[in-house]
Amino acid sequence: MHLTVLSRSSEIYTTRRLVEAARARGVRSRVVDPLEVEMGLFDQAPQAYWRGKRFPRTDVVVPRIGLSIHQYGLSVVNQLELLGIPALNGAYGIAASRNKMRSLQMLSAAGVPVPRTVMASDPSGLKDMARLVGGVPVLVKLLSTSEKSGVMICETLQSLEAALEAILGLGQNIVVQQYLKGAKGRDLRALVVGGEVIAAMRRRPPVGRFSRNLRRGAQFEQVSLPPAYARAAAQAARVLQLEVCAVDMLDVKGTPRVFEVNSSPSIREAETACGVDAAGRIVERAMALVRRGSAPAGAGRRRRDGAAAAARP
pLDDT digits (tens, 9 = 90+) for 8-34: 999 999 999 999 999 999 999 999 999
| Backbone angle region of 171, left / alpha / beta, with phi > 0 → left and psi within -120 to 50 → alpha | left
∠ CA(277), CA(279), CA(281), 5° rounding? Answer: 70
Q: How far is CA 84 from the centre of its chain?
A: 22
Which residues fall within 8 angstroms of residue 89, CB to CB, at 6 or more apart? Answer: 63, 77, 242, 243, 244, 245, 263, 264
pLDDT at 153: 81
Q: What is the CATH number of the domain that holds 216?
A: 3.30.470.20
Number of neighbours of residue 11 by Cβ within 10 angstroms: 9
* Same domain assignment for residues 258 and 202: yes
DSSP 87: B
Query: Lowest-pLDDT range, 16-20, 102-106, 248-252, 290-294?
Result: 290-294
User: Is 146 inside any structural domain?
Assistant: yes
In a domain, 298, yes or no: no
DSSP symbol at 296 = -
What is the domain extent for residue 243?
Answer: 187-292
Listed residues 141, 158, 178: the one ending a domain: 178
> Does residue 65 share a domain with residue 121?
no
More confident residue, 203 or 241: 241
Output the domain CATH number for residue 18: 3.40.50.20
- Is residue 249 a part of any domain in this protein? yes
Query: Residue 207: which pLDDT band, with cuts at 50, 70 and 90?
Result: low
| pLDDT for 149 | 56
Q: Is there a domain that residue 312 lies in?
A: no
Per the structure, the count of domains in the chain is: 3
pLDDT digits (tens, 9 = 90+) for 239-279: 999 999 999 998 888 889 999 999 999 999 999 999 999 99
Same domain, 56 and 138: no
Domain check: are 173 and 198 in the same one? no
Q: What is the pTM of this model?
A: 0.85
| Average pLDDT over the chain, rounded to an integer | 86
Same domain, 215 and 265: yes
DSSP E strand boundaries for the chain: 2-6, 28-32, 37-41, 46-50, 53-54, 60-63, 117-120, 138-143, 149-154, 173-178, 188-193, 196-204, 219-222, 244-252, 255-262
User: Pick the residue with more confidence: 49 or 297?
Assistant: 49
Does a structural domain hold residue 32?
Answer: yes
Encoded amino acid at 204, one letter = R
Cα 313 to Cα 305: distance, rounded to the nearest angstrom: 14
Residue 173 domain-assigned (yes or no): yes
